[in-house]
Structures are given as C-alpha cells and as structure tokens.
Amino acid sequence: MANCPTPHINAVPADFAKTVLMPGDPLRAKYIAETYLENIKQVNSVRNMLGFTGEYKGVPVSVMGSGMGMPSIGIYSYELFNFFGVENIIRVGTAGGMCDNVKVRDVVIGMGACTDSSFAKQFNLPGDFAPIASYSLLEPCVNKAKEMQLNFKVGNVLSTDVFYGDDADLPIALRTTPLWAKMGVLAVEMESAALYMNAARAGKNALGIFTVSDHLITGEKTTAEERQNSFTDMMKLALETAISV
C-alpha cells in the first residue's frame, strides 16, 4: 500500500499475517515470538515497538507491541488495519481484577470495553458507542478456553485513560472500583476500547484477552517478571484463537 512504511511501522503489508497478537509490552511480543513461533522474522523495530511474524502450528501469525494506553494502541491498530491489510488483532495483556469472582492469574476475555476515554468523539456519533469484541474471535476463543480447561471469565472490562489521576497516592481505578463492579465489570486495563472502536470503524475484528495480574479489592499482585514471561495460558489461548479464524 502507498502508505507503507508508516512513521511507526517500518514494514510492508506482506510482512504481516492476517492476525496479529498485540501485547502492550514489546518485550512480551519478543517472548511470544521466540517461545511459540517458528521461522520468525522481525518486521518492526521503530521506537523499539518490536514486531515479528512467524508460524504457529504451520499458520502465519504476527505479534507486535502496542505500547500503553489508548492513544498508543490507537495508532498501531489503525495502521495495521488500514495500511497493512491486517484482519484480526488480539490484544494480550494484563488487567486488574475488580470483582470478587475474578482471581489473580485468571484469564478474562473482554466481551465489551467500558471506558472513561473521549476516543469515540472523533467519530461524531449522535450518542454513546458501545465498544465490543468481534464475535468471530470471541466464539472460538471461548471454545478454546473451555477445551484448555482454563480458569476464565467472559464479560465487560474497563479501559481507562488515567492510571494515577489527580490523587497520586491512590490509582483512579481503585477509587472507582465499587462503581464499576456494581455493573458487573470484571477488570480494568487501558487499551481495548480504542482497539474495538478502530476495528469497528475499519470493518475488521478485535478481541482482548487478559491475565489478572493484580486485584484492586484483595491487593494481591504478581511481579513484573511474571507479567512479562509467565502468563502462558493467555498466550496459548490467543495463539489457538488466531489459527481458528
């Protein structure tokens, strides 16, 4: 395509598979590629946002970091959908548990993504848009999670723009947890609403799969090393979903 390479991705459309896994951390992208893919090729290194393409069980799959927050994943997912011919993006990331029935290290599959962001305003809609996952990815993902006998939940997550807020001693998600939890929101993260909106606008597919890395009610948490390397159930589930579509 004429827009390739972009200021953020130094590649051409042929470098990417039709399905891309997107962890926030580019080192997690590197770990997934090196651990699970064969015949891998690095396809992006701009701003150290590492991207790779290889094969999982003989099927081409790409994996690339998205960075943190909706503005960052908004840029990368927009370019992948609109300039590089990518059809499916599966976000694999961490989230903070917000409900009693969600435990640390559980897998959460994001059927929808509530948000406090103004990202949707750019579309000039006459109301509030509800960002949801694509059923063509959600259904095989849930089926695979059952097959793998994972501890998982399916439901709404919260994509927030703000981590600390004005009160730097108390993360904003912790202050608002009871309000979202009463509506059944399972966990909080910072990217999926923008990903779901970009997919909807481009006529493409998106899904968020998360490992609960910490819990806003119990205070339990995992280490940074665990978050980078150890959430293998989520990674395998995303890869199995990727080759099912």
Active-site positions? 214
The angle formed by the CA atoms of residues 40, 45 and 50, to the nearest 5 degrees, is: 60
Q: How far, in Å, CA of 58 to CA of 218, rounded?
A: 42
Where helices occur in 118-182 by DSSP H, the ranges are 135-147, 172-181
How many CB atoms sit inside 10 A of residue 148's CB?
A: 13
The two structure tokens encoding residue 197: 């909106």
* Amino acid occupying residue 182: K
Pairing of β 19-22 and β 88-97: parallel
Quick check: 42 and 52 in contact, CB under 8 A? yes
Reduced to 3 states, what is the DSSP secondary structure of residue 62?
A: strand
Contacts of the segment 227-231: beta carbons below 8 A, 24+ positions apart? 227/25, 227/28, 227/94, 228/25, 228/27, 228/28, 228/31, 229/28, 229/31, 231/92, 231/94, 231/105
